[in-house]
Amino acid sequence: MITSPFGTIGPYFPYNFVDGCEDLTQCDGQIARGCHILIGGRVLEEGARPTRNTIVEIWQPDANGIFRHPLDPRCAQADPGFSGWGRARTDAQGKYQFRTVLPGSYTGEDGSPRCPHIDVMLLAIGLTRRLITTIFFADDPAGVSDPVLNCVPEAVRPRLFAARNASLDSDGLTAYRFDLILRGENETPFFLD
């Protein structure tokens, strides 16, 4: 971190920037419909070194595939108990976790079906730009056709799928793991925004 006599230079994330944003399943006093899940993992640098204090932000459709956003033509039908957006901070081991719902599928602007997914953005000290990727959910990743996934070389597509991990199940919720590798071997495919 770069410092000066005037304070910190560069990204600084106060705790109120993140705290309380990890649970997407409750909004305006209502509980989200659909299958509640946990999604978490680690954010790692090259050499499997954990990144601390990295901000992981997610946005996704509800269980019916509707985004709670005015650009979604079905926005008025969005689940009122689901926020569709969350933010978490990695700990000293690089771990993050969200409580959310299994996202529903929907039809894209071009009429193509979209595989259920969660969009992810990373912000961290030392990153020269924000990093954007997508977590896909499918029982058979090899059989998925999705316009965004199809832009990724076939050899690295498996890196964009959440892995079911029963050892992380908690409070009766099904857990999925998705590690974000910033550089090096098994690097997560990131997209230009």
Distance CA 40, CA 176 (A): 7
Q: How many domains does the chain have?
A: 1
Token digits for 141?
Answer: 């990743």
**43 C-beta neighbours (distance < 10 Å), count:** 24
Domain, as residue range, for 117: 3-181
Q: Looking at 8-17, 30-39, 155-164, which range is the least confident one? A: 8-17
Asked if residue 94 has pLDDT above 80, the reply is: yes
Mean pLDDT of the chain: 88
pLDDT value of position 20: 64
| Residue 31's CATH number | 2.60.130.10
- pLDDT at 18 > cutoff 80: no
pLDDT at position 8: 36
189 within domain boundaries: no
C-alpha 95/C-alpha 86 separation (Å) is: 15
pTM of the full predicted structure? 0.88
Instruction: Give whole-number Cα distances, 122 to 15, 106, 135, in Å.
Output: 16, 25, 13
Can you give the pLDDT at residue 110? 85
